[in-house]
Amino acid sequence: MIVDDHQIVREGLKKILELEDDFTVVGIACSGMEALDLASELNPDIVFMDIKMPGIKGIEATGLMREKHPEINIIMLTVYDDTSYITQAIEAGARAYVLKNADRAELIEVVRRVNRGGEVLAPELTTKIFDQFRAGSIGSEQRGKSNLTKRELEVLEGLVAEWHDKQVGQNLHISTHTARTHVKNIYKKLGVSSRSQAVALALKNGLVEEK
């Protein structure tokens, strides 16, 4: 399945993939929400997921899709080589992160490797991540924020402000169900079992500021 908000990307990728006799594009979506609905209906083996899309973004959609359908393998296909996006995508459950300047042979190889159970990170991105680890710009920040994504930190700020799930959804322009999913993920990452524990730990470790 292909998920991208640009028609030319969707159509071009579909043509590339279907040149292979053993590949079939079973569905195309132009938003994260549409992708979640189609995934439940079509149950694809592999999903190509863009990052920046209207409504639910690609990384958030990846986390929700993997939570509901852990058997689906997701390949992030994007123009963004930012290390924060890479780490967030991996945390959300993506099995590969590939840039849109990859050629046809690279894309086909990524699909085959992921389908065999492998994980793929574009070589140029691997070098960039190792360089930043050596420079200390990755790692300390992630540890300090307990590996919470940007969205999860926003939700955590809402918990500190005593927002209930519906308020979190309304204020962050996400569904109540998505808000609850983020809260569960926050509990898991912080190793807590209640809102009060999450808030106390967040304030103690300076993850967010008290409002």
Least confident of 57-71, 96-110, 136-150: 136-150
> How confident is the model at residue 210, as a pLDDT?
54
CATH 1.10.287.3510 given to domain 146-204: no
Torsion-angle region of 148 (φ positive above 0: left; ψ -120 to 50: alpha; else: beta): beta
Q: What is the mean pLDDT of the chain?
A: 86
Q: What is the pLDDT of residues 162-195, one digit of tens each?
A: 898 999 999 999 999 999 999 999 988 888 888 8
**CATH 3.40.50.2300 location in the chain:** 2-135
Range with lowest mean pLDDT among 8-12, 20-24, 79-83, 197-201: 197-201
pTM assigned to the model: 0.65
**pLDDT at position 39 over 60:** yes
39-43, 84-88, 123-127, 175-179, range with the lowest pLDDT: 123-127
- Predicted confidence band at 149 (pLDDT cuts at 50, 70, 90)? confident
Average pLDDT over residues 76-83: 90
Residue 76 burial class via C-beta count within 10 angstroms: exposed 0-12, middle 13-18, buried 19 and up: buried
Q: Is the dihedral of CA 33, 34, 39, 41 positive or negative?
A: positive
Residues listed for the chain = 211
Domain 2-135 -> CATH class: alpha beta
pLDDT of residue 143: 44
Given a cut of 70, whether residue 211 has pLDDT beyond it is no
Look at residue 142 in the predicted model and tell me its pLDDT.
45
pLDDT value for 140: 45
Q: Which residues belong to CATH 1.10.10.10 in the chain?
A: 146-204
Q: 13-50 burial, b for 16+ CB within 10 Å, e for fewer? A: beeebeeeeebebebbbbbbbbbbebbeeeebebbbbb
Residue 114's pLDDT is what?
94
Confidence check: pLDDT of 206 > 90: no
pLDDT of residue 119: 86
